[in-house]
Homo-oligomer: A and B are copies of this chain.
Amino acid sequence: MAYNPGHMKWWAWGYPDADFDSHAHPGFWPFAKEQLGVEGEGFQTPPVPLEAVQLPEPNINARFLAELGSVLHPGQISDTRFERVVHAYGKGFRDLLRLRRGLAGGAPDLVVYPENEDDVVAILRAAAHHNVAVIPFGGGSNISGCVERMDTHRMAVSLDMRRMRRVLAVDVKSFTARSEAGVFGPDLEEQLAAHGMTLGHFPDSFLHSTLGGWIATRSAGMQSDKYGKIEDMVVALRVVTTDGVLATRAVPKSSNGIDPNHLCIGSEGTLGVITEATMRVHPCPESRFVPVWIFPDFASGVEAMRECVRAECTPSMMRLNDADKSALSAAFRPPSTRLSRTAGAIFKRVLRARGFRLSQACLMLTSFEGRKSNVARRLRQVGTIYRKFGAVGLGESAGKSFESTKYDFPHVRDFLFDRGVSADVSETSALWSNILPLCAVSLAALRSAISGTGAKPWAGCHIGHTYQCGANVYLTFAFAQRPGEEMEQYLKIKYAVQQSFIEHGATLSHHHAVGTEHLPWLAADISPLGVKAIAALKRGLDPGNIMNPGRLAPSDDALEIWWRAGGPGKARTTAESAALPARKIRT
């Protein structure tokens, strides 16, 4: 009946037929091997077959099941192996490691597919009545551990929102659209385009994530400089709690006390299920340009970004790679031709003549979109500023190539995983005055932590999502796995980089959510009183702790289970214990 986008591979990113095409990027694997000191084709670690995945014994609450059967039709309920495994985790490093090794301790006992808000109300009412945990599930793209079950002592249900995908109303006069929250990115944009509108939200996960998931995790799209972060786009919400529906009004702004939208935005499924959202939308842009520039070094690129903010002329997107990440981008080039080699050689000569040290050069990807006349003018203003900071324009071809492959990057992690290489990201945000110090200190922490595990480190960063007072700092890192100790190795490294963020004035994440992955830093980020406030909200709206238990407002023993590796009941490894922050946070 309802349109139902397929699930991603259970052990990796993307649809079953989508993979990283190494032939289209012949320079990448040689580059990675050299950087990471990997020999041959690496340490081969394919995933186990689906049949070999260890699932927890289903914990079935018969009365809950009976009540569910009276409100949903059989096609809305599933307990198959595949459904349980594919809903066990998101796509974080630890999730994929566990799944590839056949550990699915986070799997729910059942998956339900509501088709309208009444279904969600009925499911939550039944769950509250029978003490069953409910884990809202959008596209399952989250990489911070937002969707795994946290205990096995009661039944857990994954509530998959993908059938609630209709855009319900577009108010073209007010530039708003009201939509069911289970709609995926491409489906949403297609429905809005029929009205000449766009949401303008294009996160890396765009193909595999939902409107409700974006709101519940405070997602950011690539063009957030123009359209804002998702929290800036929300006009009104409907959120089903175990006690009924929290609904806010579609008005541009209000002074009605504590903003009720912001009580739900970022709630990560802990208060209820976001079933509907009214969002700001925009006329589809008349014009779009994606020029790329090259800066002599990272600092001048950062200064140029800030100068655009000061001069009130930011592009729709600015993404500045540091020198290491620029080298990685170069390694991603398509197969070279004689012409491209010649052009490249000439260009390098030009850069050297301009005083560039090529090892320091940094790529800046940009996009400009909107009204034709505004775009043209903005392009001129930004070009003038960039040149002032020594940038050389590369034209649009590299930008178009980035655009065409922008949703493919997550596949690279799986390609590397197959070859015994761990790759991951950590990101945060900081004030302009803190950007360069923070990049330096967190990259150093990262490299030192990787070296500490006996591996050769590769780490780079980029700056994107600019705001008036600062920007997002996004680190990418990779290292050869120590066979059998992949989890310990990862946790030590992840701990080091998160700790460096928090110790140096940054936040635990700019757009990847708290989940279980960043929960150890929540109290340091928002202060113990902040955690207490959220716990109070949780207790008030979900007294039975039905909704996505264990996130944001954890119980006292949560620290014991936050960084476990194997799933409920599994002991933590030595390394995990070592990686735990010293202070226990009581809420």
Question: Which residues in A have some Cβ–Cβ distance to B below 8 Å?
Answer: 171, 173-176, 217-220, 229, 231, 235, 239, 241, 243-260, 262-268, 271, 280, 282-283, 306, 309-313, 370-371, 374, 377, 428-434, 465, 467-472, 505-514, 518, 522, 525-530, 532-537, 539-541, 551-552
Whether A283 lies near B310 (C-beta < 8 A) is: yes
Closest to A465 in B: B253
Whether A533 lies near B260 (C-beta < 8 A) is: yes
Contact partner of A258 (CB less than 8 A), chosen from B241, B253, B266, B508, is B266
Whether B431 lies near A171 (C-beta < 8 A) is: yes
> Known contacts A252-B429, A257-B266: does B509 contact A529 (CB below 8 Å)?
no
Interface contacts beyond A249-B525, A251-B506, A256-B525: sample of 7 additional A-B pairs, CB < 8 Å, sorted by A? A217-B255, A252-B472, A256-B522, A256-B526, A263-B530, A263-B537, A532-B541
Set of chain B residues within 8 Å of A468, measured between Cβ atoms:
175, 252, 280, 282
- Give the complex CA separation of A247 and B532 in angstroms: 12
Interface centre among A235, A255, A271 (most CB of B within 10 A): A255
Contact partner of A251 (CB less than 8 A), chosen from B171, B429, B518, is B429
Closest to A231 in B: B259
Whether B514 lies near A257 (C-beta < 8 A) is: yes
Whether B258 lies near A171 (C-beta < 8 A) is: no
- Give the complex CA separation of A176 and B235 in angstroms: 27
Interface centre among A264, A539, A540 (most CB of B within 10 A): A540
Closest Cβ–Cβ distance, residue A430 to chain B (whole Å): 6
The oligomer's copy count stands at: 2
Set of chain B residues within 8 Å of A430, measured between Cβ atoms:
251-252
Interface centre among A262, A271, A533 (most CB of B within 10 A): A533
Set of chain B residues within 8 Å of A312, measured between Cβ atoms:
370-371, 374
Smallest CB-CB A-B distances: 10 pairs: A536-B540, A262-B262, A246-B529, A252-B470, A252-B467, A174-B431, A218-B255, A254-B507, A260-B530, A173-B433
Whether A255 lies near B174 (C-beta < 8 A) is: no
- Give the complex CA separation of A471 and B173 in angstroms: 13
Whether A469 lies near B280 (C-beta < 8 A) is: yes
Set of chain B residues within 8 Å of A552, measured between Cβ atoms:
257-258
Whether B432 lies near A173 (C-beta < 8 A) is: yes
Closest to A467 in B: B252
Whether B252 lies near A258 (C-beta < 8 A) is: no
Whether B514 lies near A529 (C-beta < 8 A) is: no
Set of chain B residues within 8 Å of A433, measured between Cβ atoms:
171, 173-174
A-B contact pairs, 23 of them (CB 8 A): A175-B309, A217-B255, A218-B254, A220-B255, A245-B527, A246-B527, A248-B526, A249-B507, A250-B431, A252-B472, A254-B510, A255-B266, A255-B513, A256-B514, A257-B513, A257-B551, A258-B265, A258-B267, A259-B262, A312-B374, A532-B541, A536-B539, A540-B540
Whether B267 lies near A529 (C-beta < 8 A) is: no
Whether A311 lies near B254 (C-beta < 8 A) is: no
Whether B220 lies near A507 (C-beta < 8 A) is: no
Closest to A543 in B: B536
Closest to A514 in B: B257
Closest to A434 in B: B174
- Give the complex CA separation of A509 and B249 in angstroms: 12
- Give the complex CA separation of A307 and B583 in angstroms: 54
Whether A534 lies near B257 (C-beta < 8 A) is: yes
Contact partner of A255 (CB less than 8 A), chosen from B241, B258, B262, B511, is B511
Set of chain B residues within 8 Å of A252, measured between Cβ atoms:
429-431, 467-472
- Give the complex CA separation of A552 and B174 in angstroms: 29
- Give the complex CA separation of A173 and B264 in angstroms: 33
Whether A248 lies near B536 (C-beta < 8 A) is: no
Set of chain B residues within 8 Å of A469, measured between Cβ atoms:
174-176, 235, 252, 280
> Known contacts A254-B510, A429-B251, A532-B243: does B539 contact A174 (CB below 8 Å)?
no
Closest to A247 in B: B527
Closest Cβ–Cβ distance, residue A165 to chain B (whole Å): 23
Interface centre among A256, A471, A514 (most CB of B within 10 A): A256
Whether A470 lies near B220 (C-beta < 8 A) is: no
Whether B467 lies near A263 (C-beta < 8 A) is: no
Closest Cβ–Cβ distance, residue A137 to chain B (whole Å): 18
Set of chain B residues within 8 Å of A310, measured between Cβ atoms:
175, 283
Whether A255 lies near B533 (C-beta < 8 A) is: no
